[in-house]
Amino acid sequence: KQLKTSKDVSILHWIQNEKWPQTLFESSPNREPKDIISPSKIATSSEDTEPGDTEIENFTPFLESRGCFLNGTSKPDKADIALCKKLLKRHCEVPKDTTLDDYDYIQRILPERNETAVNLVIGRLVVPSAEIEIVRGRIEYEYLIDSIKEVWDGSVALDEPPGNDADNARNGQCQMPTPQPDYAVGFTEEAFTKEHFAKLEPFIGQLGHNSVFRGTLEMLFPFLTTEVRCSKASLEVADQHNAHSMARSLRGVVELFKLVKRERELDRKILGFSISHNHDTVRIYGYYPVFEMGTVTYHRYSVHTFSITAAKGKERWTSYKFVMALYNDWVPVHFQRLVSAVNDLPAGVNFAVDGIRRFSC
């Protein structure tokens, strides 16, 4: 079918490349000002703007204004650092005869493909699907739910900066869209007993309510997010999106423990993980809260960074093994930590709901 208008051409370009053509943003003598889309107007009004990629961007000022720091001198608890090293060394059976074994394809062809192709070809080999591995009988803990490119429409935005000054927020500071990780994992509602869920329900609400305990509407307490990029895109931006998602996730755990006045137990404890990767580079991070002078901030710890193809693919299965160890070794312990706090919630009492749950309209 022949493309008759510039709009048709632009749409085709977006479908093929997942971004709008640069000509769309260039002025033309025959184009009305209202027809020109300004990149600066895309996803800049607030944190809860519609999800979408921007060409840019350095989201670090936004994250820091919300108490989420990508770099710093603080470190997680020593026991958690040791645990991460142990998870990295955990062995498991890996898939055979996969794309990760074809170095020529990964080095020569995959770098030319877009993000969707990279995710489709190697995504589940870098980060195995929790639900699929449960079906295969390789994960004993069954109450996990994953999401693929789903908007976190059940979550709550991080606190606005002091003064909530919209003009200052736009001055040199990008705003971030609602999280929409390429892949994420959390707990199902069925993970909790009827008694436990009854205690959580005042803070979760029914369908249509947002809560700091949710990612998507079906996912509780997400603990793993993944962002994938092609070779031409920035992994730093992927890292920032992951950090934003995990800051929301950790805030939910912190708020749960605040309800039972046990939040100090979480100081410097790793409560979630993220993985950023393209066709070759993989970055694994852990995230932890720090409590100081009556405030809580969120920080990340670099667990491991590696190349899939370096040294003849020596580490190509490192991330896969780490995530499988996460599912089997770390998740059950983390869930029991959550349950211990839920146990301390009083039954049948609706308190301190403001800020934890809000209605989404």
Q: What is the pLDDT of residue 50?
A: 37
Number of Cβ within 10 Å of residue 354's Cβ equals 7
Q: Is 234 helix (H, G, I), strand (E, B) or coil?
A: coil
pLDDT at 298: 97
pLDDT at 351: 54
Alpha carbon of 149 to those of 16, 73, 96: distances in Å? 18, 33, 27
Residues 135 and 140: their CA atoms lie apart, in Å, by 10
Q: In this predicted structure, what is the pLDDT of residue 103?
A: 82
Tens digit of each residue's pLDDT (9 = 90 or more) over 178-192: 999 999 999 999 999
Q: Which amino acid is at 153?
A: D
Q: Using one digit for the tens of pLDDT, what is the confidence trace for 315-359?
A: 999 999 999 999 999 999 999 999 999 999 987 765 545 556 543
CA–CA separation, 305 and 327 (whole Å): 20
Could you write out the DSSP letters of every residue in 317-357?
Answer: THHHHHHHHIIIIIHHHHHHHHHHHHHTSPTT---S-BTTE
Would you state the structure tokens that stand for residue 217, as one six-digit string? 């509407």
Q: Could you tell me the sign of the dihedral formed by the alpha carbons of 225, 231, 237, 240, in that order?
A: positive
> Which of 57, 319, 106, 99 has its CA nearest to residue 230?
106
Return the amino acid letter for 197.
Answer: F
Question: Long-range contacts: 257-266, Cβ < 8 Å, 24+?
Answer: 257/341, 259/203, 259/341, 259/345, 259/351, 259/352, 259/356, 260/341, 260/344, 260/345, 262/341, 262/344, 263/291, 263/296, 264/291, 266/291
Q: Mean pLDDT per segment of 10 residues, for the chain of length 361 residues?
A: 47 54 48 30 37 59 92 92 97 94 87 92 97 96 97 84 35 70 98 94 79 95 98 91 97 96 97 97 98 94 96 95 98 98 84 49 30
- CA–CA dist 146, 346 (Å, integer): 30
Residue pair 63/244 in contact by the 8 Å Cβ criterion: yes
Residue 326's contacts (CB-CB under 8 Å, 6 or more residues apart) are 87, 224, 273
